[in-house]
Amino acid sequence: MKPISLLFKKAAVLTVAGFLAMGGVISAHAASVSYFMDQSNALADGVNYLQVSIDDEGDAGEINFTVDVFESVLTPGSNFGIQLFGFNGPDLSGATLDLPSGWSYVGSQNISEFGVFLNVISGTGGSRQDPLAFSIGGIGSDTIASYAASNAGGEFFVAHVADFTNFGATTSAFFAGSSTTPVPLPAAVWLFGSGLLGLISFARKKRNRSL
């Protein structure tokens, strides 16, 4: 009878080989990360007002942003949405930006009390967005981590949201934040991990029986 350790090693090799045969999902899977924006120049801090998600799941070489307002916290009016968004990272003056209609790249700008952000995009009052979605291309070495960077004040992102109706006379404000939110692992990773745990359990049972 083959030693349990040898059986386990062979089973693990077969599991990994089978997993890689499915396309090497772990190494090739696109990534994403999300952040809360929980500070404001006009409303209470510590409330999650918006969420920023960054991923590389689109075309090769593109980084995608999605900025969502939590409408359970900021009640929309008739012309509600994000009118400005700022973030840090590489200089995008030579990048290809896929922005919503009516939006443009401003560049570096000081935003409210939250300091200077290296990259600012903005729209008009008639082109507010919720959610705000845009993509960055043409920067060969950038990754998601390139844009998850803080400014001198420790803030990753800033946004101006206008026409909410549930804070009395305050109908617009700036929001910022840098706290990260957990992102679930891809399903394939969980399956791979479950398979390895199963093999470990099987090996232990076989060993116990042989004692």
Per-residue pLDDT at 205:
53
Q: Which of 125, 105, 129, 109 is nearest to 117 (CA)?
A: 109
- Is the backbone peptide bond immediately before 131 cis, with ω within 30 degrees of 0? yes
Give the pLDDT score at 180: 59
**Dihedral sign of CA atoms 168, 172, 174, 177 in order:** positive
Q: What's the pLDDT tens digit per position in 81-128?
A: 999 999 999 989 889 999 999 999 999 999 999 999 999 999 999 999
pLDDT at 23: 37
Q: Give the predicted TM-score (pTM) of the model.
A: 0.74
Give the pLDDT score at 181. Answer: 57
Question: Which residues in the chain show pLDDT less than 50?
Answer: 2, 4-29, 182-194, 196-197, 199-200, 202
Instruction: Judge contact between 128 and 85, C-beta under 8 A.
Output: no
**pLDDT value of residue 71:** 98
Q: CB-based contacts of 23: which residues, under 8 Å, 6+ apart?
A: none
For the record, the structure tokens of 189 come out as 């990773």
Q: Output the CA torsion 35→41→45→50 (10° steps).
A: -30
Q: Of how many residues is the chain composed?
A: 211
